[in-house]
Amino acid sequence: MFMRGLKRKCFDGEEDIEGTLAGIKAIPSYNLQRQSLLDMSLVKLQLCHMLVEPNLCRSVLIANTVRQIQEEMTQDGTWQMINTQSTGQASLDRLVSTDILCRSSRDQAEGKHGPAYGTFNKDFESDQAQDSSETMSTASAVQAPRNLQSNVWEMESPQENKGNFQKSLDQIFETLENKSPNTVEDLFSEVDNSYYDLDTMLTGMMSNTKMGHCDSLETFSSPANTASNSNCKSDLNDLDHIVEILVES
Amino acid sequence: FLGAGGGNDIQWCFSQVKGAVDDDVAEADIISTVEFNHSGELLATGDKGGRVVIFQQEQENKTQSHSRGEYNVYSTFQSHEPEFDYLKSLEIEEKINKIRWLPQKNAAQFLLSTNDKTIKLWKISERDKRPEGYNLKEEDGRYRDPTTVTTLRVPVFRPMDLMVEASPRRIFANAHTYHINSISINSDYETYLSADDLRINLWHLEITDRSFNIVDIKPANMEELTEVITAAEFHPNSCSTFVYSSSKGTIRLCDMRASALCDRHSKLFEEPEDPSNRSFFSEIISSISDVKFSHSGRYMMTRDYLSVKIWDLNMENRPVETYQVHEYLRSKLCSLYENDCIFDKFECCWNGSDRQVEFLSLIVMTGSYNNFFRMFDRNTKRDITLEASRENNKPRTVLKPRKVCASGKRKKDEISVDSLDFNKKILHTAWHPKENIIAVATTNNLYIFQDKMN
């Protein structure tokens, strides 16, 4: 059924969670799936910049989807980075089966699970502790880094969030305008220039503050400035696996 | 009477298939548009390689009353070539997005074909005789020595083998920044519109260096862009009226007499969203991929990802009829989003007008996946799913209806949703304007079906 696009693995909640969160068995929660959809959409948007001339209709529809998710996540304030993996394993397949998202909202209300747990494995926490200081410098509020990702989100006000997000969408649409031949370069001008390598591109994207929408992908790195890109990258060695899964490299 | 119900339902039979047999599809051979001319005698296809192939129907053989004439290749020409936009460092695809025929005024045929950026008016003419017996030229074209000319004669036309020539008569270029998705010829037969993602332009067929912009939805700030134009069409009878559809599922009807720039619609057609069906994909699947007026102009039909809707031009707040094309895909939208199928743009078309009853739009046809296509009868409310496949190859064999099993136990002969081949999509279909003959394009093959004549 799947002819192209990102290969995704079905997240089997039962097997993986059982070890870490004793007793909590869950199929991928709505939040997890929503996150997965967001990630997928962002990758699609980025990928379409690499095409010769992106299909504007498709880009607009994907961007609108991203906006919707962002708005919903901001509104219900339960935005937490989903990472449900046990310690040793790389955090898998955040691109989980998103069947729940296909259900109508009424079905979802019935089937929705509780707020997603947002525990991080120890590795992530140590990475993030290091980066959190940088994160906080950009934020108005300071929160304990236990759930760093949620902090990143919450620290910025919803307005700001939207602002950042908007700005990144702006960049996307500017590139769609094809103002300059090196549109992709412009988009990533503040990112490490090795964007030609898809892995690195996504890694760079994940660690770039300017791209607000990437906050969502920043489970594993801080929204630090580009100067710390290389630092982030080395820290991300553990996480190459995730990137690989994201881009099926 | 077309599909009027009861025993009069059309029985579709395989007639012909055109195109390569092998499964390995050359990219250039992918069919991107199909269109009958106004008489139905000619059938044009455009492909990704920028070529136009025109088929001509054989004159009906009076002795063979059980079948209508076959379509054979009449003319093939390269309409568009790939171009390179040096300013943006981008390639401009030569793929033919749309072909529209002009009504025939003289011996020659004219059609408009367009790629993403440039529209061309092609003249297709026949030559079956040539003049012979010139005074100053030899038969091979060389000029004769004037001193050898001692007599005067009148050249005469002598028959020759039929030659069909296609020549570009007008090239309408440089008017579109974005990708052209539609062209539509006005009922005045003098002007036509071309629509891209954000703008619609009005052209005069004789004038290539100017066009009028009649719709512009580009926001001042591209960052605010949330909606694009997906299709546009002129009203069949009212030469100042046209409609355009959007990626948000709306259709706007505009009157060019109201103002020069038709940014304010006269009517806005939109169905309120069903809140119980809302999902993150709601907007994407509401995006309209095609809009077609009925023959009378009283109704119009729109195609979105999962359905076909019939609108009464007098009622803006909801369609009068909705037909589900492949509702079983609703639970698969995530996967279809992932593999990009959710962005497939299916077209739709009306039946032709019957000999006896003119201008009645009763049957709707549209494509789906797995090389299936669907027809909906507005009168009987019956629908049918048929397949375009080489397995039903025998002429005059009635096509067997297909059924997709959405869930539960699959019956014999049904196909389950997960077995559908999403690579085999029927995006383009066309219905002969006067007969029950349909042209259905799979990826690189063109199927022609006709109704079973008794």
> Alpha-carbon distance B312 to A109, whole Å?
36
Q: Do B422 and A53 touch (CB under 8 A)?
A: no
Note whether residue A96 is domain-resident. yes
Q: Which residue of B has its CA nearest to A96?
A: B334
In degrees, to the nearest 5, what angle opens at C-alpha A90 toward C-alphas A87 and A96? Answer: 110
At what angle are helices A240-247 and A30-50 packed, to 10 degrees?
70
Note whether residue B67 is domain-resident. yes
Is A16 within 8 Å of A86 (Cβ atoms)?
yes
Note whether residue B2 is domain-resident. no
Note whether residue A149 is domain-resident. no
Note whether residue A185 is domain-resident. no
Cα–Cα nearest to B182, from B202, B167, B168: B202
pLDDT of A154 reads 30
Q: Do B337 and A40 touch (CB under 8 A)?
A: yes
pLDDT of B329 reads 96
A115 CA: distance to closest CA in chain B (Å): 19
Tell me how many domains chain A contains. 1
What beta strand segments (E) does B133-261 contain?
A: 156-172, 182-185, 191-195, 199-204, 212-216, 229-234, 241-246, 251-255
B71-95: pLDDT as tens digits? 999 999 999 999 988 887 788 999 9
What pTM value is reported for the model? 0.73
Tokens found for residue B100: 């529209």
When pLDDT is cut at 50, 70 and 90, the band that residue A239 belongs to is: low
Note whether residue A50 is domain-resident. yes
Cβ-nearest to A56 among B197, B275, B287:
B197
Note whether residue A9 is domain-resident. no
Note whether residue A154 is domain-resident. no
Mean pLDDT of A171-190: 45
pLDDT of B239 reads 95
Tracing tokens 């997709």 back to the chain, one arrives at: B404
Note whether residue B4 is domain-resident. no
Cα–Cα nearest to B388, from B326, B345, B447, B452: B447
- Position with higher pLDDT, A78 vs B372: B372
Note whether residue B288 is domain-resident. yes
The parent domain of residue A76 ranges over 26-102
Note whether residue B179 is domain-resident. yes
Note whether residue B208 is domain-resident. yes
Mean pLDDT of B437-450: 96
Q: Which residue of B has its CA nearest to A70?
A: B280
What are the DSSP calls for B61-113, one per residue? -TT-TTSPPPEEEEEEEE----EEETTTTEEE-----EEEEPPP-SSSEEEEE
- Position with higher pLDDT, B413 vs B183: B183
pLDDT of A20 reads 45
Q: Do B247 and A34 touch (CB under 8 A)?
A: no
Note whether residue B232 is domain-resident. yes
Tell me how many domains chain B contains. 1
Q: Which residues of B touch A53 (CB under 8 A)?
A: 88, 90-93, 116, 179
| Mean model confidence pLDDT for chain A | 51
- Position with higher pLDDT, A44 vs B392: A44
B264-317: pLDDT as tens digits? 899 999 999 988 888 999 999 999 999 999 998 999 999 999 999 999 999 999
Q: Which DSSP letter does residue A187 get?
A: H
Say whether residue B197 is in contact with chain A using an 8 A CB cutoff: yes
Tell me which of A37, A45, A57 to substitute to probe the interface with B (most B C-beta atoms closer than 10 Å). Answer: A57
The parent domain of residue B82 ranges over 10-449
**Residue B169 — φ and ψ, nearest 5°?**
-95, -30
Tokens found for residue B214: 């009649």
Least confident of A178-182, B168-172, B434-438: A178-182
Tokens found for residue A37: 């959809």
Q: Which residues of A touch B326 (CB under 8 A)?
A: none
Mean pLDDT of B360-365: 85
Q: Which residue of B has its CA nearest to A178?
A: B88
Q: Do A53 and B91 touch (CB under 8 A)?
A: yes
A173 CA: distance to closest CA in chain B (Å): 6
Say whether residue A68 is in contact with chain B using an 8 A CB cutoff: yes
Mean pLDDT of A81-109: 42
B400-420: pLDDT as tens digits? 999 999 877 778 889 999 999
Q: Do A99 and B91 touch (CB under 8 A)?
A: no
Note whether residue B148 is domain-resident. yes
pLDDT of B364 reads 95
pLDDT at A48 over 90: no
Q: Which DSSP letter does residue A248 get?
A: T
Q: Which residue of A has its CA nearest to B228?
A: A57
Q: Do B278 and A2 touch (CB under 8 A)?
A: no
Mean pLDDT of B141-169: 92
pLDDT at B123 over 60: yes
pLDDT at B147 over 60: yes
Tracing tokens 């067929």 back to the chain, one arrives at: B205
pLDDT at B375 over 80: yes
Q: Do A103 and B279 touch (CB under 8 A)?
A: yes
Percent of chain B with pLDDT over 90: 75
CATH assignment of the domain containing B202: 2.130.10.10
Amino acid letter at B44? A
Q: Which residues of A touch B335 (CB under 8 A)?
A: 1-2
- Position with higher pLDDT, B248 vs A225: B248
At what angle are helices A240-247 and A198-206 packed, to 10 degrees?
120
Q: Do B91 and A52 touch (CB under 8 A)?
A: yes
Determine how many CB atoms are found less than 10 A away from the CB of residue A128.
24
Note whether residue A175 is domain-resident. no
- Position with higher pLDDT, A113 vs A67: A67
